[in-house]
Amino acid sequence: MRQWMMVAALLPMLGGTALAQETVKIGYIDPLSGGGASIGEVGYKTFQFLAEELNAKGGILGKKVEIVPFDNKTNPQESLIQAQKAIDGGVRYITQGNGSSVAGALTDFVTKYNERNPGKEILYFNYAAVDPVLTNAKCSFWHFRWDANSDIKMEALTNYMKSAADIKKLYLINQDYSFGESVRSAAKTMLKAKRPDIQIVGDELHPLLKITDFAPYVAKIKASGADSVITGNWGQDFALLLKASADAGLKVNWYTYYAGGTGGPTAIKQANLNHQVFQIAEGIPNLGYPSADAFEKALRAKYDFSLFYPRAVNQMRMFAAAAEKAKSLDPVKVAAALEGMQFDVYNGGGKGIMRKDDHQFFQPMYIASFGDRTEKEPFDEEKTGWGWRQAAKIDPEQTMLPTTCKMERPN
């Protein structure tokens, strides 16, 4: 009788364990409060939508996918606290994108955690943090990046800009942290080689997500006589920068990484910069690929935003494909399956590849301008009536910069 009572007492616990194993938990560690909240919420809902897509097809290896949100307030230290909470909650896969300082801290944390906890490893899927160091000096077997790093993006952007004869005077304005520094340094180096005639008339760094009025910065741009600006600003730092530009009547061409983020399209329309704002990205609406168009329509029907993260689609679908290939959800086996994987990208532009040497994903890239639309461009942004238009496509082979990564792999 006593043995039966002990077994009966254990049954609920065993049932809970079995239930937990039926769910693939992905910890989403990004800002859900503070200055980065608007873009963090968009990312969270996008990943929820992608989880629903996978679950409608049977999940991953028959297990339901669940996105578990953790608010890091765009703070590296807070991110580590949230990462530990995720692990304590049974998460073995985490994803993050907003802030390369956060990404660097998470990479170090995950690498050290896995060294100390063999058999309990976790993987870090990076969907948007683009500091080149993450797949160079700070590369890790446990980190995979689906976004092009900032050097790759600048290589593509400056290849496009080198043939723009109207660029004479250029202003650089970026956020004061590792990513912003990488944008400014890459821009100066690459333009010097490709367009030495372009005069850089300003080079500004400002605090990350803390400026509420960019009027003083815009006044400097206007006074410099610049005809073009390069900025890696994202989130409210881009939207408020363009708002101040509109207020000041600044009319220049903008070459950006994240103009399509929350509030960006509205700010561009209000500034009346019709096809004067360019963005380098791995995909945009209005490319005309039927599968991507159907996804875009479904996402917009559920949420009040467009797909800002095509790379998140590639990430989640490749995760599922890697688990199927490995026939396992063990992070070590999934990581091995991801290395060198070729995959048909979301936007229909061809195949991308996860380079084994540094875990950097290479994919077709697009330069697009934002403004009025033709009949072949059905999607607008933020109810502005304006939309994205392809200006150039760059094949993966043209963006494969070398890496200095010396990766240590588990035995």
Clarify whether residues 198 and 309 are in a common domain: no
Q: Among positive and negative, which fits the CA dihedral 53, 54, 58, 63?
A: negative
User: Rounded mean pLDDT of 90-117?
Assistant: 97
- Residue 335 resides in a domain: yes
**Domain identity same for 62 and 143:** yes
Each residue of 244-284: pLDDT tens digit?
999 999 999 999 999 999 899 999 999 999 999 999 999 99
Question: Does residue 136 form part of some domain?
Answer: yes
What mean pLDDT value characterizes the chain? Answer: 94
Residues 120 and 202 reside in one and the same domain: no
Round to whole Å and give the CA distance between 130 and 147: 7
Contact 98, 29 (CB under 8 A): no
Is the pLDDT at 9 greater than 50, yes or no? no
277-281/169-175 β-pairing:
unpaired
Mean pLDDT of 158-179: 96
pLDDT digits (tens, 9 = 90+) for 313-362: 999 999 999 999 999 999 999 999 999 999 999 998 899 999 999 999 99
93 plus 210 within the same structural domain: no
Could you tell me which of 247, 248, 249, 214 has the C-alpha nearest to residue 231? 214
Tokens linked to 115: 């060294």
Kindly state whether residue 286 falls inside one of the protein's structural domains.
Answer: no
Q: Are residues 68 and 80 located together in one domain of the fold?
A: yes
Same-domain check for residues 9 and 80: yes
Domain span at residue 29 reads 2-148+292-362
Decide if 307 contacts 295 (C-beta within 8 A). yes
Residue 5, pLDDT > 80, answer: no
The position carrying tokens 């532009």 is 349
- Provide the whole-model pTM: 0.89
Q: Which of 254, 281, 308 is the last residue of a domain?
A: 281
pLDDT tens for 218-254 read 999 999 999 999 999 998 999 999 999 999 999 999 9
Whether residue 96 sits in one domain with residue 20: yes
